[in-house]
Structure 1
Amino acid sequence: MAADAQGLPEEGLALWLTEQKVSPGVPWLGRHLVASVGGAAAGQLDFFLHPDGQAVKVFMLRVHPDFQRRGLAGVMMDALYAAYPTAWINHGWRTKEGAQWWNGYREPVPHRNVHNRPPAEWAAYFDAVDVASDKAHNAHQNSHYGLDGNRGAVYRYGERLETEAALHASAYRQVAPVHVDPGSQPLHGAARLALPPAVHAYVHDRTQDSRERATALLEHFGHGNLPRRAYWNTTRQAAFADAHHETLFERPPAGPPLTHVVFTLAPLQALAPSTAQALATSVEFQHPGDTAVDVTELAWREADRPHLTHQAGFAPNVAAAIAPVSAQQASASYQARYDEAGFLRATARNGARPFADRAAQIQAMAERLLGGRTERARTAPPPSAPPQTAPPHPPAPGQRPPGPGRRA
């Protein structure tokens, strides 16, 4: 591990492995390994993972300036080796800073580094010619800056490998990209909300009905405001991870903590392929207009309390929409249902029949109420003459008298 000048705190250091959104043309899976200290992002290791989990290509390793030279980069790299204990590791080529860091790092398992083994062992995962080129680049960096670079472990260090690399280049097996089909399964997208204190207190109050709280949250957000600049994932946890990753790299606003909300959509059967950018486990809608969707569930939690997650389903589903880029690019059906801010118009609210699915329940309740009133009328004693009382004082000007449901 690199020299630890100041040391890292024993408490508050966390490592988190999550998905990285990559180009649809990249067939390997994108991953982040994020290190946080005291709830703030301190470092990040970006890499690609082969679909079979047996090969890793490191793309970027970076540490926040406040945490450099404290051993954090080594902690993240060690964690990568531990997360994929049987995979080949390809570190690629190094910048000046990367070469200087590598000079002090000690790999936990050097024989899994493709730079340290002959191409015949790993050429099915990596192009042998590309690996030879990266090794030559790193050897030049070491020579230029006077670094050892752990050269003793590197396979045939300092020798020309063009012939051997070309010999094994044909063994490389290209991977076909896999893209999610939005019409085949539910999708989950996240939004990060700084709620007003009263709304925040209500939606996180576990003593209140979860569906009513979910309805209030959706009303506050706006049915026509489902996030456009977001990926819709195949799992709810991946959507929460997207929101958490963004929060780590931003300063939290003053007031109540951010609320991470995940909207679950029914499969989008009518979505045109040209309107979405599909990855292996997520999809992003890219067309400028709106997209009509059905929300089946809501899940939400405070950013700093992920273990307390609230969830509520809707039956029937709630009609909603992924917001258009601008009000001018909204469809006629969107404009008829939502205003320019993405909230339901009064006509849409009145036209909907919110209690249509509860007809039987409401009828049974009415019968119980009517039956109880009849029974009370049958058994009640005959009414007596009302007592003589002084007439009530008239209400003061501008004061409404108490009525049903109103307190005096």
Structure 2
Amino acid sequence: MAADAESLPEEGLALWLTEQKVNPRMVPWLGRHLVASIGSSVAGQLDFFLHPDGQAVKVSMLRVHPDFQRRGLAGVLMDALYAAYSTAWINHGWRTKDGAQWWNGYREPTPHRNVHNRPPAEWASYFDAVNVASDMAHNAHQNNHYGLDGHRDAIYRYGERLEAEAALHAAAFRPVAPMHVDLGSQPLHGAARLALPPAVHEYVHDRTQDSRARATALLEHLGHGNLPREAYWNTTRQSAFADAHHIALYDSRPAGPPLTHVVFTLAPLQALLPSTAHALATSVKFTHPGDMAVDITELAWRQADRQHLTHQAGFAPAVAAAIAPVSARHASASYQARYDEGGFLRAAARSGALPFADRAAQIQAMAERLLLGRTARARTTRPPPAPPQTAVPHPPAPGQTPPRPGRRA
């Protein structure tokens, strides 16, 4: 490892584990990419499949970009795989000419976990013994043809004919049933990559500001009806972030303003028909061309070049939103009533979020009654007010004495 690292460029090496989207009916194991980047360039990639219990790995492809070959990078990737799954069986499958020549110079960290080096009785529940034997025969032919050793002393030698060995262990293989995400039982997480205006970018990444207000600003900027359609919606937030970063690694567009990766967390979808979605083991992609009403329960975001700083905010109650339709002609009537052509809330939809919005008819009727009563009172003729009364004292009769103050007459 040390020699490998010393031969790499000064920009530094980063390894990223991302999900490989595969049809579980074709490959029921979990697909993974292990990507190596140097600076802003993808230098290599190791593709593999992981058994659901994490105790077996099948390598499907190892490749290094021509600009970074012969620097030990393939060994770094393979060593990282062994380290990440430190107790799992490793099946390298069959090799091409280049693969056989590379393998000839590679030194496995733990050769005893390579199924090609161990008897089928130890690993036959994970891998089909006949297929493994076929791959071993192919690799042996490659080694003989190109004059390679191929670590032949470590390879398991069958003690009897292959047919008999296969008959002993083929029945031990335990196929994995295809797994599909259950949309109605768990939240889903989907990512979008946004190039925000400078002022918006500065505000939403300012940790001194209220996180919920910043999340609301992000949603307003994108539009409530513009949740990403082409994204895979994952069972974990980290997988959604990994999807966004995997796309960024292979993005060939010229550098521009810093991107923000935003992950939307949706409440479980209870009323979704299976025919409207392409469900994988741990993710789903919606295939219906129309819009889809969803509820956002949380928002998380971070700068593409600052993976270690993640902002997040929850919404309680959840915010009503929608996955955008393919085009305006596929938009439903309810979508068109709530969102405009750009996917932004219409004025009526915005007022609907105000308090007492569900009592609009009742409030209107009350207002009309008040106005009618006011009009009726204004039309009523009132009598003129009576003049003020002023007491005038009468003169006393002859022979009487006027009463004095404080005495009764």
Fold-level similarity (TM above 0.5) = yes
Shift, 1:18, TM fit = 3.2
Contact 1:292 1:321 survives alignment (8 Å): yes
* Alpha-carbon distance between aligned partners in 2 of 1:5 and 1:281, rounded to the nearest angstrom: 34
1:6-405 to 2 correspondence within 5 Å? 7-9=7-9, 12-25=12-25, 26-156=27-157, 161-251=162-252, 253-350=254-351, 352-355=352-355
* Alpha-carbon distance between aligned partners in 2 of 1:254 and 1:130, rounded to the nearest angstrom: 46
Report SS of the residue matched to 2:244: helix
Shift, 1:23, TM fit = 0.9
Contact 1:200 1:256 survives alignment (8 Å): no
Deviations 1:212-240 (A, max 9, x none): 21111111111111111111112111111
Unmatched segments (≥5 aa) in structure 1: 358-408
1:17 maps to amino acid: L
1:15 maps to amino acid: L
* Alpha-carbon distance between aligned partners in 1 of 2:268 and 2:5, rounded to the nearest angstrom: 52
Shift, 1:98, TM fit = 1.0
1:322 maps to amino acid: I
What is the percent sequence identity of the aligned residues? Answer: 84
2:171 maps to amino acid: S
Report SS of the residue matched to 2:43: strand
* Alpha-carbon distance between aligned partners in 1 of 2:238 and 2:74, rounded to the nearest angstrom: 26
Shift, 1:349, TM fit = 2.5
Shift, 1:71, TM fit = 0.3
Deviations 1:176-222 (A, max 9, x none): 12222111111111011111212211211222222221111111111
Q: 1:2 to 1:153 in 2, by over 3 A?
A: farther
Shift, 1:39, TM fit = 4.3
* Alpha-carbon distance between aligned partners in 1 of 2:164 and 2:58, rounded to the nearest angstrom: 23
Contact 1:2 1:101 survives alignment (8 Å): no
* Alpha-carbon distance between aligned partners in 1 of 2:354 and 2:236, rounded to the nearest angstrom: 29
Shift, 1:2, TM fit = 12
1:103 maps to amino acid: N
* Alpha-carbon distance between aligned partners in 2 of 1:2 and 1:207, rounded to the nearest angstrom: 42
* Alpha-carbon distance between aligned partners in 2 of 1:95 and 1:127, rounded to the nearest angstrom: 21
* Alpha-carbon distance between aligned partners in 2 of 1:36 and 1:130, rounded to the nearest angstrom: 33
* Alpha-carbon distance between aligned partners in 2 of 1:9 and 1:84, rounded to the nearest angstrom: 27
Q: 1:157 to 1:68 in 2, by over 3 A?
A: farther
Give the structure-2-normalised TM-score. Answer: 0.82
Give the structure-1-normalised TM-score. Answer: 0.82
Shift, 1:6, TM fit = 7.8
* Alpha-carbon distance between aligned partners in 2 of 1:160 and 1:99, rounded to the nearest angstrom: 25
* Alpha-carbon distance between aligned partners in 2 of 1:47 and 1:208, rounded to the nearest angstrom: 42
**Radius of gyration: which is bigger?**
2
Shift, 1:5, TM fit = 11
1:295 maps to amino acid: I
Deviations 1:53-99 (A, max 9, x none): 11110011111222111001001111111111111110001112111
Q: 1:3 to 1:13 in 2, by over 3 A?
A: closer
* Alpha-carbon distance between aligned partners in 1 of 2:39 and 2:159, rounded to the nearest angstrom: 44
Alignment RMSD, CA only?
Answer: 2.3
Report SS of the residue matched to 1:353: coil
Q: 1:84 to 1:349 in 2, by over 3 A?
A: same
Contact 1:3 1:70 survives alignment (8 Å): no
1:105 maps to amino acid: Y
1:149 maps to amino acid: G
- Between 330-339 and 91-100, the greater mean CA deviation after superposition: 330-339
Deviations 1:343-376 (A, max 9, x none): 22233224x133559xxxxxxxxxxxxxxxxxxx
Contact 2:120 2:169 survives alignment (8 Å): yes
Report SS of the residue matched to 1:170: helix
Q: 1:53 to 1:270 in 2, by over 3 A?
A: same
* Alpha-carbon distance between aligned partners in 1 of 2:5 and 2:143, rounded to the nearest angstrom: 23
* Alpha-carbon distance between aligned partners in 2 of 1:12 and 1:248, rounded to the nearest angstrom: 15
* Alpha-carbon distance between aligned partners in 2 of 1:155 and 1:239, rounded to the nearest angstrom: 41
Deviations 1:22-43 (A, max 9, x none): 1131221112222222243221
- Between 11-20 and 73-82, the greater mean CA deviation after superposition: 11-20
Q: 1:79 to 1:159 in 2, by over 3 A?
A: farther
* Alpha-carbon distance between aligned partners in 1 of 2:239 and 2:312, rounded to the nearest angstrom: 16
Contact 1:182 1:268 survives alignment (8 Å): yes
Shift, 1:291, TM fit = 0.9
Deviations 1:299-346 (A, max 9, x none): 111011122211112222211111112221121211222223222223
- Between 230-239 and 262-271, the greater mean CA deviation after superposition: 230-239
* Alpha-carbon distance between aligned partners in 2 of 1:221 and 1:249, rounded to the nearest angstrom: 24
* Alpha-carbon distance between aligned partners in 1 of 2:344 and 2:98, rounded to the nearest angstrom: 50
2:179 maps to amino acid: V
Q: 1:227 to 1:145 in 2, by over 3 A?
A: same
The number of aligned residues is: 356
Report SS of the residue matched to 2:167: helix
